[in-house]
A and B are shown apart, each in its own frame.
Chain A
């Protein structure tokens, strides 16, 4: 199984809502990533988990809270978001973050709209 799945595909939320994005992979990868992508722009790295531990936080606002319950799952908890947070949120996984072999497998993304 070389697939990364993400749910939901689309999400519309108000600025006072709390919601979560979910990501799952069964490739045995021990590194997982969250990216944010605005229209016609490249993905921007938000968080990196390595062996279920948060390794990199790219100065992301605290209204985004990542969680890695186990080696196959990655969540992104959302709270008090702003309209400018509307974007495509991509999850990815790879073998341990070893620079020679860091091909990343991406999920299809969650299209988030904040009203």
Chain B
């Protein structure tokens, strides 16, 4: 079963707008990661945030983590058509020494020019 629930399931925005998607999880985590997947292709790692971190930035990406609410958000600023993809959060349980990724259902983002 999936660890994470993502919201919204789908998001359609215009170029230049910001896109925000959320991920909630149920079990105590060691870290949370965000991945992007272009249609039918492999996943690309975007950012990893550890359980003792609250916010991280990478280029136009901003990730927050609230462990008390068991939730994370991914913000893409000034979106581009090339940001059209599915975005998955993935958690690693704090009790899992293998670091297995537990993926959420994903958010499909469409950015129109």
With A99-B92, A100-B31: A45-B100 Cβ-Cβ less than 8 Å: yes
Q: How many residues of A contact B (CB 8 A)?
A: 29
Interface string of B55-81 (1 = CB under 8 A from A): 000000000000000000000000000
A55 located at the interface, meaning its Cβ lies under 8 Å from any Cβ of chain B in the complex:
yes
Looking across the interface, which residue of chain A has its beta carbon closest to that of B88? A42
Contacting A at CB under 8 A, from B8-43, are 30-31, 33, 35, 40-43
Q: Which chain A residues lie closer than 8 Å to B35 at the CB level?
A: 106
Contact B30 A99 (CB under 8 A): yes
B-side interface size class: 20 to 34
B82 located at the interface, meaning its Cβ lies under 8 Å from any Cβ of chain A in the complex:
no
B2 located at the interface, meaning its Cβ lies under 8 Å from any Cβ of chain A in the complex:
yes
Contact B103 A43 (CB under 8 A): yes
Contact B99 A98 (CB under 8 A): yes
Interface string of A39-57 (1 = CB under 8 A from B): 0111101001010000110
Looking across the interface, which residue of chain A has its beta carbon closest to that of B4? A42
Among all A-B residue pairs, the 7 with the closest Cβ atoms: A102-B99, A42-B103, A106-B42, A99-B99, A106-B43, A99-B30, A108-B42
> Could you list 24 examples of A-B contacts with CB < 8 Å?
A40-B108, A42-B103, A42-B106, A43-B103, A45-B100, A48-B98, A50-B98, A56-B100, A90-B42, A94-B99, A98-B99, A99-B30, A99-B31, A99-B98, A99-B99, A100-B50, A100-B99, A101-B99, A102-B99, A102-B101, A104-B43, A104-B45, A108-B42, A109-B41
List residues of chain B with CB under 8 Å of any chain A CB: 2, 30-31, 33, 35, 40-45, 48, 50, 88, 92, 94, 96-101, 103-106, 108
